[in-house]
Every structure is written in structure tokens, then in C-alpha cells.
């Protein structure tokens, strides 16, 4: 069960993080997750999500750009976004959920910390969800990778980099989750 954004961000999912008044009550996840990866198609214009891993606790961080400071609840912009629910990519032209200049302003940065909503998901050895929590967070600058780049990095035998280690750990977790979900134990 995802805890609401108002919950105590220091509970669960393996360890306490500092909740700072200076960070607008955000959990600073930069030490726990020093690297975040925005993995998208090669033509992606706006990177709005990223993933991180804390291999020591088998916790994945799924980070979504937090638009709450840019889109006021109940505003016309908020209502239009709620009606569209997602950006649509048609053959003629994309119909974005929000205006492209706003999406560009809200996109995850590759050179500055990012304000996000983060799902902290802790998994067991079989890839089942043990605990998860939703927090307002501050995450490090993202490293932007295409799906092809990730595939190449995962195929690279004998590589020894932090990026390769992170991606290999994420891949192993997803494989265990896929295998564990079909092994009769049910999904998480």
C-alpha cells in the first residue's frame, strides 16, 4: 500500500532519510540514491520519470517530476491535464497533457537536483513487494539513457562501472520479479 504524501517519510523501506524544512518538507534521497536514470526512447523530448536502486536494501526508487509548484490544483491547466490524463503521440502531432514550455520547465534535469514524487519500493528475494511508500523528494541529476543504450550496457560483459552495476542490479530484480510472479507465489 502506498502511503500518502503526508505520511512520515522516515518510516519503512529501509532506513531513515532527513526531512528538511529547507527542502519544503521533501526527503533528500541524493545520498541514498546517488544516481538516477531516465530511460526513454531515443526521441523523447521531456524526461519526466527516472529510476534508482539501493542494492543494499533491494529498494527501488521510482521518481516522477513533481509539477505541484507549477500547476495549481483546480486551475484551468490542472483541469485540462486531468481530462487528457496523458500525452498522446499521434501521427500528425503530439497532444501533450500540458503545454510544451511547461513540460520543458518541469522535465527532470541532468545537471541539477530534481523535485519529485518518489515511490520507494522494497522487494524480497523473489521480487515481491515487501513495502512501499510515496514521498515528496529531492533526487540527484538524472543520467539520460535510451532503451538501446541500456540494452548495450546490459550486454557488456566484464564492464565495471557504477552505471553498469546499477542497471545489472535493476535488471536482476525485474527478472526475479518476473520469475517469482509466475512461480505460484503470486505477484506483489
Beta bridge partners of 116: 65, 137
pLDDT tier at 181 (50, 70, 90 boundaries)?
Answer: low
- When computed from its CA atoms, the radius of gyration of the chain, rounded to whole angstroms, is 18
- 143 or 44: which leads in pLDDT: 143
Residue 65: its pLDDT value, please?
A: 92
Q: Is the pLDDT of residue 19 over 70?
A: no
For the question of whether the overall pTM of this predicted structure is more than 0.85, the answer is: no
| The pLDDT of residue 15 | 42
- Mean pLDDT on 29-57: 89
pLDDT at 96 over 80: no
Residue predicted with more confidence, 186 or 66:
66
Cβ contact 67:74 at 8 Å: no
Residue of higher predicted confidence among 112 and 46? 112
Distance CA(173)–CA(184), nearest Å, equals 18
**Residue 50 to residue 66: CA distance in whole angstroms:** 12
Between 154 and 12, the more confident residue is 154
Cell numbers for 100, please give them.
510544451
Q: Which residues pair with 87 in a beta bridge?
A: none
Summarised one tens digit per residue, pLDDT across range 118-177 is 999 998 877 788 999 999 999 999 999 998 888 888 887 666 788 888 888 888 877 777
Report pLDDT for 131. Answer: 94
Amino acid at each position: 500500500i502506498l502511503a500518502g504524501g503526508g505520511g512520515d517519510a522516515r518510516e519503512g523501506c529501509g532506513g531513515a532519510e532527513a526531512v528538511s524544512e529547507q527542502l519544503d518538507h521533501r526527503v533528500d534521497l541524493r545520498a541514498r540514491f546517488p544516481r538516477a536514470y531516465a530511460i526513454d526512447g531515443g526521441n523523447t523530448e521531456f524526461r519526466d520519470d527516472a529510476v534508482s536502486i539501493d542494492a543494499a536494501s533491494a529498494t527501488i526508487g521510482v521518481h516522477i517530476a513533481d509539477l505541484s509548484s507549477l500547476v495549481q490544483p483546480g486551475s484551468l491547466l490542472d483541469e485540462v491535464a486531468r481530462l487528457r490524463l496523458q500525452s498522446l503521440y499521434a501521427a500528425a502531432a503530439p497532444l501533450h497533457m500540458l503545454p510544451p514550455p511547461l513540460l520543458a520547465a518541469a522535465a527532470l534535469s541532468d545537471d541539477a537536483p530534481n523535485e519529485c514524487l518518489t515511490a520507494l519500493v522494497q522487494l524480497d528475494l523473489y521480487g515481491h513487494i515487501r513495502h512501499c511508500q510515496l514521498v515528496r523528494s529531492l533526487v540527484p541529476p538524472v543520467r539520460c539513457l535510451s532503451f538501446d543504450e541500456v540494452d548495450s550496457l546490459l550486454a557488456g560483459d566484464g564492464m565495471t562501472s557504477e552505471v553498469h552495476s546499477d542497471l545489472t542490479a535493476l535488471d536482476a530484480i525485474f527478472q526475479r520479479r518476473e520469475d517469482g510472479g509466475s512461480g505460484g507465489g503470486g505477484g506483489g
